[in-house]
Amino acid sequence: MIATMIATIIFATMMDSIATIFTAWFGFDYNTRVVLAGTALLGCAGGAIGVLLLLRKRALIGDAIAHATLPGLAISFLIATGLQWDGKSLWILLPGAAATGLLGAMTVIAIRTFSPIKEDAAMGIVLSVFFGAGIAMMRIIQQIPEGYAAGLEGFIYGKTASMRFQDAWLIGVCGAIIVALLVLFRRQIELLCFDESLARTQGWPVTLVDIGLMAATTTIVIVGLQAVGMILIIAMLIIPAAAARFWTWRFWPTLATSSVIGCVGASIGAMASTMAEKVPSGAAIVIVLVVLFSLSAIFGRRNGIAWRLARRFRQRHETDGQHLLRSIYEWLEFQGKKPQDFGQTRSASFQLSELEFVRNWSPSRLARTARRFERIGLMVQVGRMHWALTASGIQQCVRAIRQHRLLELYFAEIANLSPEAIDRGADYSEHALDDQMLAELERDIAGASNAYEVPESIHPIGSREPQVAQVGAQLGTDHGKFPKANQE
Amino acid sequence: MFAGRTDLAISIRAMTVAYQRKPVLWEVNLDIPTGTLVGLVGPNGAGKSTLLKAILGMVPTVSGTVALFGQEYRKVRSRVAYVPQRSSVDWDFPATVRDVVTMGTYGSAGWFWPLSKRDRNRAHEAMEQVGILDLASRPINQLSGGQQQRAFLARALAQQADLFLMDEPFAAVDAATEHAIVECLRTLQKSGKTILVVHHDLHTVPEYFDYLVLLNVRTVAVGPMAETFTDENLRRTYGGRLTILDEVSEAIRRREATRP
């Protein structure tokens, strides 16, 4: 516990330095700085707790708690005003909010346990009933003459501008304590989230840790009411966590990333609300968070859409390249001018239009791939419309055809498929071959034969597309004479 | 409170477990000597998984006592490793194989302080032992079923326990993994560990294990494989279910045919 206190002090100091940074950059007064720093720390803690809720599949319980706080707020305000106390002090409002919030969560659990109704339906019932009751009470508050409910509206949509100095400190300290506890009990929490049974057999107080987690969630929701508002506080728990999963596949980094995203979202959103009095901070925070989420979903290192598209594009590029190389080989082989990877620095020449005979591509696709080959030095133009492979082009070409035919032979051996089906199968799988698998294939299939030798094709060249006949006819070749290549 | 027979890895007396008054395990008596490789076999709903959980105190017992190495489970916790069913966890969890295996060492690592070099080495050795060292940095959501099972086994090995309780480690894994796991279990047994495995495939039972527990709510038979894996015992375990009975007699026939 001493360690917890030390960590708290460190975070309090950090909060102060964050506040200093805000002054230096934006010239805010001290009060605003504290508000921003407090909200930033809340974002940090919320982001981290959100990951745990998501992993425990408890994401929506936070929402139920948040919505169920409203009647508690209203009741404690009414009581306090009736007793002539300061009805807007957090020390009066928050305990009330926590009481009905927890009551809401427990009602959900009770409905789930003791009735046939499932958790999602229970959540819907509790959430709407408590929130509806709260709204009704707010109306009553607004109608009584002394009732100046203006401040309370801030709890629904979030309003950092109405936050007081000491409120901000409360929020910041709560956030810092939660972050510190997470750091301390990181292993126990990790175990609880991944495999409760392991945590139990190792003798950790699982139930206690779980209760602690729920307590932390409740605390975040309650102290975050003012900054984000009860309707949108769930966003501050869930969105950073969901966004973080696009960046990393390890537990601890996920927590850290989520914290940072939550922190950035909360501070920018709070700043917007502080500067423009009319903007509800909850909405501002959610908008910033959604922008961060979208950026993560697109550019996230782990599963971002941009990387996925780029990878697919690159793969298609590579596949196209290999197919073209193979086509060149097959065409030259068909003409009896097989490229030799020894002693030949230029292959026999060919025209791109001739390649259409073995590969049914559009001329533009052919030209595009050919230009790329020229750029990386696999092919050179040796005359008008005529191309030839360079030495390295020949080498890659022989490699590509070897891979393909070894695979074909392998398929022919293990699966009793038609030659066309085998060709197609090899087409699909050859690009996934790595060197080790290729070596295995060579050992199994090629056996003792020369490691550089290209096996003969097991199916007639050029017969793979129905259109080939027409292309052949256009080219003036007699497709009837295709060699029935070597089928011993 | 216990008689303290330390040569018995597991000793259960008159244990009853009930879920909402319906008995799942009823008056179970069980003695497992140390250093055995035990198959726990029974029909669906026989309470096999529940038995493991009851041994570990994860489900409340109505009556009866459990002693591990002659002591209460609480006192020998660190000597017991549990391998739950693969499907009991969410494999989308953000962790690498190394992270999962390292979790096995958390129990001895204390509350707060960073893991020691020794703990990390234990995880490393465990991965090496089950042949998943090359997968160490791979996210666990990219593992095949067999690899997941090996990761779980490695995690248990990293706990350096003396008693292993494994819930269906062979469910839906590839042949290579099944073989690797069996090899690994035999190695463990040779070094004096006790392993209790919930198993489904009657055909492989006599081949894999040297001790057998037949369970169908009650313990039908417990003992060395040769004496326990009999037609009569299996009939009593799977009683009345014809298709299973056929399967069983086929297994018996095959076993007798292969006996030298």
Cβ–Cβ gap B58/A254 under 8 Å: no
* Most confident of the ranges A90-94, A474-478, B113-117, B184-188: B184-188
Please report, rounded to a whole number, the percentage of residues in chain B having pLDDT higher than 70: 90
Convert A95-106 to b/e letters by CB count within 10 Å (16 or more is b).
Answer: ebbbbbbbbbbe
Enter the pTM of the model. Answer: 0.76
List, by residue range, all CATH 1.10.3470.10 domains of chain A: 2-239
Work out the percent of chain B whose per-residue pLDDT is above 90. 16
Burial-class residue A192 by CB neighbours within 10 Å (0-12, 13-18, 19+).
buried
Residue B157 has pLDDT above 80, yes or no: yes
Residues in A closer than 8 angstroms to B107, CB to CB, are 201-204
A207: which chain B residues are within 8 Å (Cβ-Cβ)?
none
The answer to whether the Cβ–Cβ distance between A200 and B155 falls below 8 Å is: no
Query: How deeply is A235 buried, as exposed, middle or buried, from its count of CB atoms within 10 A (0-12, 13-18, 19+)?
Result: buried
pLDDT: which is higher, A167 or B183: B183
Most confident stretch, A217-221, A384-388, B228-232: A217-221
CA–CA distance, A111 with B143 (Å, rounded to integer): 38
Q: CB-based contact (8 Å) between A187 and chain B?
A: yes
Residue A128: CB atoms within 10 Å: 11
Are A190 and B103 in contact (CB < 8 Å)?
yes
Q: How confident is the model at residue A448 (pLDDT cuts 50, 70, 90)?
A: very low
Mark yes or no for CB contact A197/B88 under 8 Å. yes
Q: In chain A, which residues fall in CATH 1.10.10.10?
A: 313-480
Find which of B90, B119, B153 to mutate to test the A interface (most A CBs within 10 Å of its CB). Answer: B90
pLDDT of residue A7: 67
B166-193 average pLDDT score = 88
C-beta separation of A227 from A158 below 8 A: yes
- Domain A2-239, CATH among 3.40.50.800, 1.10.357.10, 1.10.3470.10, 2.30.29.30: 1.10.3470.10
Nearest residue in chain B measured CA to CA from A183: B112
* Contact list, A185 vs chain B (CB under 8 Å): 111-112
Distance linking the first and last C-alpha atoms of chain A = 81
A190 touches chain B (CB under 8 A): yes
pLDDT at B3: 53
Beta bridge partners of B197: B39, B166
> Which residues of A fall within a CB distance of 8 Å from B159?
202
Confidence of residue B198 (pLDDT cuts 50, 70, 90): very high
Kindly tell me if the per-residue pLDDT of A39 is higher than 80: yes
A390 touches B at CB < 8 Å: no
Q: Do B106 and A191 touch (CB under 8 A)?
A: yes
- Report yes or no: A479 at the B interface, CB cutoff 8 Å: no
* Maximum Cα–Cα distance across chain A: 105
Nearest-CA distance from B213 to chain A in Å? Answer: 23
DSSP class of B32: E
Nearest to A66 by CA among A238, A210, A190: A238
The answer to whether B18 faces chain A, any CB pair under 8 Å, is no
Using a CB–CB cutoff of 8 Å, tell me whether A2 touches chain B.
no
pLDDT higher than threshold 60 for residue A476:
no
| pLDDT of A478 higher than 50 | no
Q: pLDDT at position A48, please?
A: 93
Give yes or no for A59 touching B (CB within 8 A): no
Mean pLDDT of chain B: 84
pLDDT at A469: 41
Residue with the bigger pLDDT between A10 and B131: it is B131
Instruction: Tell whether A200 is within 8 A of chain B (Cβ).
Output: yes
Of A191, A200, A248, the CB nearest to B94: A248
Chain A CB within 8 Å of residue B82 CB: yes
The chain A residue lying nearest B73, using CA atoms, is A201
What are B27-86's pLDDT values in tens digits?
888 888 888 999 998 888 788 889 999 998 888 888 888 888 888 888 888 889 999 998
Q: What is the mean pLDDT of chain A?
A: 79
CA of B119, closest CA in chain A: separation in Å?
A: 14
Give the per-residue pLDDT at B24.
81
Please report residues of A whose CB lies closer than 8 A to that of B99: 250-251
Using the Cα atoms of residue A12, residue A13, residue A18 and residue A23 in order, give the sign of their dihedral: positive
Find the range with the poorest average confidence among A71-85, A402-416, B139-153. A402-416
Fold of the domain spanning A313-480: Arc Repressor Mutant, subunit A (1.10.10)
d(Cα A395, Cα A342) in Å, to the nearest integer?
9
At A16, is the secondary structure helix, strand, or coil?
A: helix
**A153-176: b or e for each residue (b if 16 or more CB lie within 10 Å)?**
ebbbbbbbbbbbeebbbbbbbbbb
Q: What confidence score (pLDDT) does residue A468 get? A: 42
- Interchain contact A249–B (C-beta under 8 A): yes
Does the structure show a pLDDT above 80 at A42?
A: yes
DSSP H or E segment with residue B194: strand B194-198
- pLDDT band for position A228 (50/70/90)? confident
- Pairing type for strands A386-389 and A350-351 reads antiparallel
* Residue B141 pLDDT exceeds 60: yes
- B106: which chain A residues are within 8 Å (Cβ-Cβ)? 187-188, 191, 202
Report pLDDT digits (tens) over A380-391.
Answer: 888 777 888 888
Per-residue pLDDT at A411: 75
Work out the minimum CA distance from A183 to partner chain B, whole angstroms: 9
B106 vs A200: CB contact, 8 Å cut-off? no
Both tokens of A453, joined, read: 């030798």
Closest CA to A388 of A398, A400, A379: A379
First-to-last CA distance in chain B? Answer: 46
pLDDT digits (tens, 9 = 90+) for A127-184: 899 999 998 988 888 777 655 655 677 788 777 766 777 778 888 888 889 999 998 9
User: Which of B49, B99, B138, B153 has the most A C-beta neighbours within 10 Å, making it the best mutation to test the interface with A?
Assistant: B99
Average pLDDT over residues A307-328: 85
